[in-house]
Chain A
Amino acid sequence: MHGSPFRLAMQRLARNRLAVAGALLIVGMCLSCLLLPMLLGLDAERTQPALRNLPPSTRSWFGTDTLGRDLFARVLVGGRTSLLVGLAGTAVSVLVGVSYGAVAGFYGGKVDEAMMRFVDFMYGLPYMFLVILIMLMFSETARGEMLPVFLALGLVQWLTMARIVRGQVLTLRHQEFVLAAELLGASDLRILVRHVLPNVVGVVVVYGTLMVPSVIILESFLSFLGLGVALSWGQLVSDGIAVVNPIRSYWWILLWPSVFLGTTLLSLNFIGDGLRDALDPKART
């Protein structure tokens, strides 16, 4: 296996310092959001009226918010939502986008034209409309019920993936190995799954990684508008913005969630760009 394309790609990735740093940061972020609240026994919702608007100190590392809730706990617990929504929303959109794009590219011709016309139509829509309307449908589901958010965000984010996969499949379709499989009498489904799709995995991984931050951003938009379903970084940032005023500054309420959100998104983009350079040297410019 020495020098297999995959191993070469991984070596290229390991040389990209920004991507490695980003990956380490994301792993650390996921682990601390997942484990720290449990390990330290933090409570994100407990209000302490006596301890309102405290700046960061040794007792409360990130300070407290306007209701006296510990910001460190809230940032970590909010991170769970943001990261989970990012991953699950991406999973939904990858699933939809890859199947849609693969079918369009594989059958080509008028089928392709009609399917892509629909994608163009969706591209033109300001997708926030759709997300807001879908979120409204679920507005009475229990707080913390996340499935609607995954669906709503995933179902508007799949377009780019569909376009990219379709383009790849369109060129793969007429390569010799696909024709050979066709001559041997393989079914369309088998050709698609066994011969075509394995060749688009790299592209899907790259653009899937780059999609995670945009899903997280979209969720934070929803939370900012008051349409979120659970405590997330977007909601915490919006809490922080709400207390911005010219007289007295509670900078820590805005700073910490913004920093966590910003570094996470930046790291994810580092990883995505690194993967693209490693897996697809042609796209490197």
Chain B
Amino acid sequence: MIEVLSLVLGLAVLAGTAWLPNRLTRLLGALLFGLLVGVVLRFSVGMLGGLLLGAVAAVGAWRWLPRLVLRRVVFLVPALVLLIFATTLLMYRAPGNPFANERASSPQVEAALRAQYGVPKNANQFFGIYMRRLLVEGTLGPSIKVQGRTVEDLIKPAFPVSLALGLLALTLSVLFGLSLGILAGLKRNSAVDHLSMALALIGISLPSFVVGATLMIVFSLWLRWLPVAGWGSFRHLIMPAVALSLPNAAVIARLSRSGIIEVMQQDFVRTARAKGLPESWVIARHALRGAIIPVVSYLGPAAAAIMTGSFVVEVLFAIPGMGQWFVKGAINRDYSVVLGTAIVYFGLVIVFNLLVDLAYAWLDPRIRGKEA
């Protein structure tokens, strides 16, 4: 009962950030930003230094950061707490517990283990311990299943792997999707158009592990050009990134195609043509923006989709990334690993969305006036 109430309360706080007046958003955002900076830095520069730098960051944020960023920060902090709480509840609801498979499972041993890892039987108590550990000690805690390693130890080598894979996949989808979509949109109803839209439909329709398996068979087993699976060199990265990027490239191709078709019918394009600009200049200077704006607004969901796909692709190609740890942690009920990876993923998504927001405001002045 208390759990449900807290969840509702958390959601209410989250929704409540929509009602905050602008000046309060600015103030609160700056304070929370300073708090975040202080908490993170305290562990490297000490208590006093953290306090000082946090205060400096807060003042700096209040003075210079655009409201767009501060709004996100105001939203981020309660959202992060809510995420940790909801994940804890869901994990505790799942049958089984991290100590269910221990050999010596006498109640005393289990109680000792629970005390050692900070995993009480009650979800609320665990949430309290976890938050305290996160804020006061600044650690994601020990892994319960991987002996003698902290969650940081596990995530540190996995993070760059997942990041590299995700960024490459995102870059590929944008490059591939945008060029296909623009080409198709400019030569509407031509063979090129039909071919690229057919390709896009196939890309949307096939799940990434089917694409991945096909690539694996063709390029590593038949042609022997690329390593089958594993991690180590750039060559290991190619097939997983392509498999991950295909569905997103397809969506981006469709979006940019309809975007460019729409913009080519606008009056300002006709004006540009009428005043005698060469067609290539009309496209580069005026039409491209119309194709890019809808794609930029899709980048946020695209990042989430790539992360979702990466769970599967990492397992398929045996890539030692964070997705693997999350899946393993979830299956083994390794609570701290699940929470740690969830927090890192969530942080990535937030930072990425922030960048997208800023890029969007820069590209489309109509939004800049309203939001910034």
Contacts and interface: CB of A to CB of B under 8 A. Distances in A.
Interface of A: 110, 113-115, 117-118, 121, 123-129, 132-134, 136-137, 139-140, 213, 217, 220-221, 224-227, 234, 237-238, 240-241, 244, 246, 254, 258, 261-262, 265-266, 268-270, 273, 285
A133 B209 contact: no
Contacts of A124: 300, 304, 346, 349-350, 353
A16 B312 CA distance: 35
B18 interface: yes
Contacts of B331: 136, 226-227
Contacts of A238: 209
A101 B237 CA distance: 40
26 contacts: A114-B16, A121-B14, A124-B349, A125-B83, A126-B307, A126-B349, A129-B87, A133-B87, A136-B90, A136-B94, A136-B330, A137-B94, A224-B312, A225-B311, A226-B331, A237-B210, A238-B209, A241-B213, A246-B228, A258-B210, A258-B214, A261-B210, A262-B206, A266-B202, A270-B201, A285-B258
Given A129-B342, A225-B312, A121 B79 contact: yes
B93 interface: yes
B217 interface: yes
Contact of B330 (A118, A127, A132, A265): A132
B19 to A, nearest CB: 6
B363 interface: no
Contacts of B11: 118
Nearest to A127: B308
A221 B311 contact: yes
Interface of B: 11, 14-19, 75, 79, 83, 87, 90-91, 93-96, 201-202, 204-207, 209-210, 213-214, 216-217, 221, 228, 257-258, 261-262, 300-301, 304, 307-308, 311-312, 315-316, 326-327, 330-331, 338, 342, 345-346, 349-350, 353
B308 A123 contact: no
A215 B11 CA distance: 26
Nearest to B82: A121
Nearest to B185: A285
Contact of A110 (B18, B213, B257): B18
A265 B205 CA distance: 5
Contact of B17 (A117, A268, A269, A270): A117
A165 to B, nearest CB: 17
Contacts of A269: 201, 204-205
Contacts, number: 132
Contacts of A127: 304, 308
Q: Is the interface of A mostly helix, strand, loop or mixed?
A: helix
A237 B209 contact: yes
A169 B320 CA distance: 46
Given A125-B346, A140-B96, 5 more contacts: A117-B14, A126-B308, A226-B331, A241-B209, A244-B216
A115 B18 CA distance: 9
Contact of B95 (A128, A140, A240, A268): A140
B94 A139 contact: yes
A221 B213 contact: no
Contacts of B96: 139-140
Nearest to A218: B308
A128 B308 contact: yes
Contacts of A265: 205-207
B7 to A, nearest CB: 12
Contacts of B300: 123-124
A123 B304 contact: yes
Contacts of A273: 201
Contacts of B257: 285
Contacts of B350: 124
Nearest to B202: A266
A139 B95 contact: yes
Contact of A261 (B14, B83, B207, B311): B207
Which 10 A-B pairs give the minimum distances between C-beta atoms?
A114-B15, A126-B307, A136-B94, A128-B308, A285-B258, A265-B205, A133-B90, A140-B95, A266-B205, A113-B18
A62 to B, nearest CB: 17
A270 B16 CA distance: 42
Contacts of A244: 213, 216-217, 221
B195 to A, nearest CB: 14
Contacts of B202: 266
A262 B311 CA distance: 20
Contact of A128 (B15, B206, B307): B307
A137 to B, nearest CB: 5
Nearest to B306: A126
A237 B214 CA distance: 11
A238 B19 CA distance: 48
A221 B75 CA distance: 31
Contacts of B83: 125
A129 B15 contact: no
Contacts of A128: 307-308, 311
A266 B349 contact: no
A136 B88 CA distance: 12
